Amino acid sequence: MDLLMTLTFAGLVVAIFAMWRRLAAVERAVRHLRVELAEAQLQAQSEPPVAARPAVAAPPPVERRDEPAVVRRPLDPASVAPASSESMRPPEPAAPPRPRFEMPSFEALVGGRLPVWVGGAALVLAGVFLVRLSIESGLLTPGIRTALAGLFALLLLAGGEVARRLPATRDDPRIAQVLAGAGIASAYATLYLAAAAYDLVSPLAGFAIMLAITGVALGLALRHGPPTAVMALAGGFAAPLVAGFDAAGIGPLLVYLGLFVAALLWLAVARGWVWLALAAGASAFGWAGFLLAAVRADEVAGVAAFIVALALGVTLALPSAGIQRPWLRAAPLVAGLAQLLLAAPLLDFGPLAWGFYLVLSAAALFLAWRDPKLMPAPVAALGLVLVLLGVGLMRPAPGVTATAAVLATLLFAVPGQLLSRTSRGWALLGVVGTVGPVLAAQLAATRLLAPSFWCLLDLLLAAACGWLSWRHRERANDQDVGLVGGALAAATLLGAGLQQIVPGALVALPLAAAMAALAGWGRATGDASVRRLTLLPLLGLLVLALIPLAQVTEAFGRSLFGEMLPYRLLPPLRDILRFLALPTAVLVAILFADRQSFGRARRIALAIAGGAVPLLAYLLLKQPLAIAEPAAFAAVGFIERAVITQALLLAGWALVRNRRLPRVANLLLALGVARIVWFDLMVFNPAGVPQAVGAVPLLNAATLHLGVAAALFWTLPPRRGTRPIAAALTLLALVATVRQLTHGSVLTGPLGTGENWGYSAAMLGQSLFWLWRGITAKASDLRLLGLLLLTATTFKVFLVDAAALEGVLRILSFLGLGFALIGIGWAYRRFLTGAGSAPPADRAPA
């Protein structure tokens, strides 16, 4: 049986090759005839007009019955324009007009065509009912019934030949077509009676009869046209089911199907019937799929060989049949590869399974090289090979799948890389063929090789992809597959290789290295697509950081509502360094090294960096003190919070001073002020929550924190909003200083009289300073701030401070306040009058 199958397969291949050679010779002859016809038309058009030649008595025209008469008018000599250099050029031969399909009218369809075909179907049904009646009545023996059915089929076939020759019916070819088609159907029905119903013939004899009927059907199809071809197509593919597809064995059945398909394809090419070629190929692939599901395991190899031959034969025949669409011409190869994908598990992914698959893939590559319209076939083949590799390597017994992965890489990557500059399809094969098999094997069977060998293999293939991208470097900004795809494949393999050998603490290093490599190559080539690809590893780094970011988010949320110990909720330092610190450092370096990095996605990268840098700084500033207990919070909680706030304010202040990233600068300053308002004044105010700020006056954390914040805002360029914030921070610093002087390091406790008068004295001194500075510097905003603070201090003294005094102290306080206010008013008016900006003097009433 194996020898028979091998010989059958070899015979099919030889037959297909011979048919291909024959079709190529026919195509060359047709092209030669077309060239000769075009030359004859050019010569006829370049001859002088009829009027310029001597009149010759022409013979009377002979009218042909098979051609319509053509009336030609003689040319008027005056109407013929003089020949010029342009007009002397022979015109290009016009393409032959395509036949136009005209929809038949309802009358022609129902009155002329439909009754003929209904009559043919009635003849077939009449024969079926006649046989059925004889069976039910029991009048005829099985042999006689079969003989009568065969006689009926012969009569119909003979009637078709008679109708083709009779003068009354030869002008209507449909009569002969219907009779021939009915005879073919009846012949197949007779075979069914003899072989399947009554067992009158042996399987081998039934198979021989089936071949004979099919041959007659094809001959009649060539003789009568498409309707009979439809009958032959349907009957020929249904005949094995009628006779029992496994009655004579799978080998003869495959031989029959191969010869029948070859005959149908030859008929389609000879008559130019595109529909027949497509129908024959689709039906044959349907039979192959049915056989894969129906045959035994030891017969799958023969079916797979048939699929390979079928895919090649149909692919070679379709162009000669008139099919030009690339996806239709590549469909047989794709169908064959898809069916072999189902056959591989039945063959246990052994050498035979992979041999069939790789041979058909190689054929697809060769045919695509010969004909670019078949490029979809090898691309689909590569995709199916990757699927098959993944499935095969995940099995407990992968067979020779690992070796097949190496062969698939060589099969697709080598021609793809060598021909990458010819078309996008070859460049795609070069890229995916290099990176696809190794990644599929690495994901499906990690233990197949040691990590060091995986790393070496990935780096070697990354170099090959980098070489491919380098060969296309002059095609920057053309969305070239070789340049962009090669760069992406090289970066992917670089990351995959490093992932095999780096320790767990550096889990983000491979993606960071891939991001840096893409950024560097994008800067070198200037290609916008490569620069945009740099965002992909960055997004991968974000995915890696999801767990630490979720922990940080939870810590932030709880601290906003009074959680004193958010450090316990933060990720450990190891995760911070490997998931956040390393990627952030690489990202910032890329952004500063190339101002066009990430291309159109640069804003996304800047936003990520703008959030990652402060977040990383916050997490790192949380590490030295590591406040995880309430006692630690009371001892250094305020200091840690002040340092983090100052870091935000200093970063925003530096960006504003350098006039860089104004939006980021404003955001940082706003975050710093918000932290002071929310945490220092509301949630964790040291006057209510015990926190040590330091025992040294003026050099404690509270005074320095608010004083430095105020100084930063005072030194910013004057604009709307900065001076009021600076003034408010200055007053807070004065309040903190007075509070610390009266309470010490811990600011909790009741408000005393001395502390109250200290606030008033500090506010009065600050208002006088602002007034003096506003007058001397001619700064109206400082003068306004001084007046507002002086007014507020006055009300405080009258309504709060003086109300607590009695007797002489109250009198002295009011006297001092009165003389001080009068002096301030006098000085304010005098200095402003000298500056020319004083308000008008009050006039006494006349």
Q: Indicate if 674 and 736 belong to the same structural domain.
A: yes
Contact indicator for 434, 413 with CB cutoff of 8 Å: yes
Confidence band for 691, pLDDT divided at 50, 70 and 90: very high
DSSP string, 783-818: HHHHHHHHHHHHHHIIIIIGGG--THHHHHHHHHHH
Distances (CA, A) of 308 to 316, 540, 632, 728: 13, 42, 77, 85
Q: Indicate if 744 and 763 belong to the same structural domain.
A: no
pLDDT top residue among 324 and 2: 324
Which amino acid is present at 624?
P
* 211 assigned to some structural domain: yes
The DSSP output letter for 78 is G
Contact indicator for 520, 534 with CB cutoff of 8 Å: no
pLDDT of amino acid 251: 78
Q: Indicate if 124 and 204 belong to the same structural domain.
A: yes
- Residue 89 pLDDT exceeds 70: no
Q: Indicate if 692 and 806 belong to the same structural domain.
A: no
* Structural domain containing residue 803: 757-837
Contact indicator for 493, 436 with CB cutoff of 8 Å: no
| Token pair in block for residue 519 | 């950024």
Contact indicator for 687, 745 with CB cutoff of 8 Å: no
| Three-state DSSP string of 246-264 | CCCCHHHHHHHHHHHHHHH
Domain end marker among 204, 229, 248: 248
Mean pLDDT score, 214-226: 69
Q: Which residue has the tokens 């007075």?
A: 738
Q: Which helix or strand (DSSP H or E) is residue 30 part of?
A: helix 2-46
pLDDT top residue among 287 and 72: 287
pLDDT of amino acid 102: 46
Range of weakest confidence among 147-156, 165-174, 292-301, 786-795: 165-174
What does the pLDDT look like over 98-155, one tens digit per residue?
444 444 443 343 334 445 555 555 555 565 555 555 555 555 667 776 777 777 777 7
- Residue 4 pLDDT exceeds 70: no
Domain end marker among 248, 268, 300: 248
In angstroms and rounded to an integer, the radius of gyration of the C-alpha atoms of the chain is: 47
Mean pLDDT score, 654-669: 86
- Residue 37 pLDDT exceeds 60: yes
Confidence band for 418, pLDDT divided at 50, 70 and 90: very high
pLDDT top residue among 490 and 156: 490
pLDDT of amino acid 521: 95
- Residue 454 pLDDT exceeds 80: yes
Mean pLDDT score, 505-509: 86
What does the pLDDT look like over 534-559, one tens digit per residue?
999 999 999 999 999 999 999 989 98
Helices and strands counted in the chain (H then E) = 31, 0
- Residue 221 pLDDT exceeds 70: no
User: Greatest CA span in the chain, whole angstroms?
Assistant: 153
Q: Indicate if 763 and 815 belong to the same structural domain.
A: yes
Q: Indicate if 725 and 781 belong to the same structural domain.
A: no
Domain end marker among 749, 769, 793: 749
pLDDT of amino acid 690: 93
Q: Indicate if 830 and 770 belong to the same structural domain.
A: yes
Q: Indicate if 134 and 227 belong to the same structural domain.
A: yes
pLDDT of amino acid 817: 58
Mean pLDDT score, 780-803: 76
* 171 assigned to some structural domain: yes
What does the pLDDT look like over 763-776, one tens digit per residue?
888 988 888 888 88
For residues 239 and 346, what is the distance between their CA atoms, to the nearest angstrom?
A: 27
CA 99 to chain centre: 42
Q: What is the pTM of this model?
A: 0.67
Q: Indicate if 660 and 735 belong to the same structural domain.
A: yes
* 197 assigned to some structural domain: yes
Contact indicator for 444, 491 with CB cutoff of 8 Å: no
pLDDT of amino acid 358: 92
Which amino acid is present at 592?
F
Q: Indicate if 237 and 150 belong to the same structural domain.
A: yes
- Residue 485 pLDDT exceeds 50: yes
Confidence band for 723, pLDDT divided at 50, 70 and 90: confident
> Which residues make beta-bridge pairs with 746?
692
Q: Which helix or strand (DSSP H or E) is residue 178 part of?
A: helix 173-192
- Residue 472 pLDDT exceeds 90: yes
Confidence band for 48, pLDDT divided at 50, 70 and 90: low
Contact indicator for 457, 493 with CB cutoff of 8 Å: no
| Token pair in block for residue 8 | 């059958």
Q: Indicate if 181 and 135 belong to the same structural domain.
A: yes
pLDDT of amino acid 140: 62
**What's the chain's length in residues?**
846
Confidence band for 2, pLDDT divided at 50, 70 and 90: very low
pLDDT of amino acid 6: 41
Strand ranges inside 549-624, DSSP E:
none
Total of domains in the chain: 3
Distances (CA, A) of 771 to 2, 215, 706: 110, 116, 22
pLDDT top residue among 149 and 347: 347
pLDDT top residue among 111 and 403: 403
For residues 674 and 677, what is the distance between their CA atoms, to the nearest angstrom?
A: 5
pLDDT top residue among 512 and 253: 512
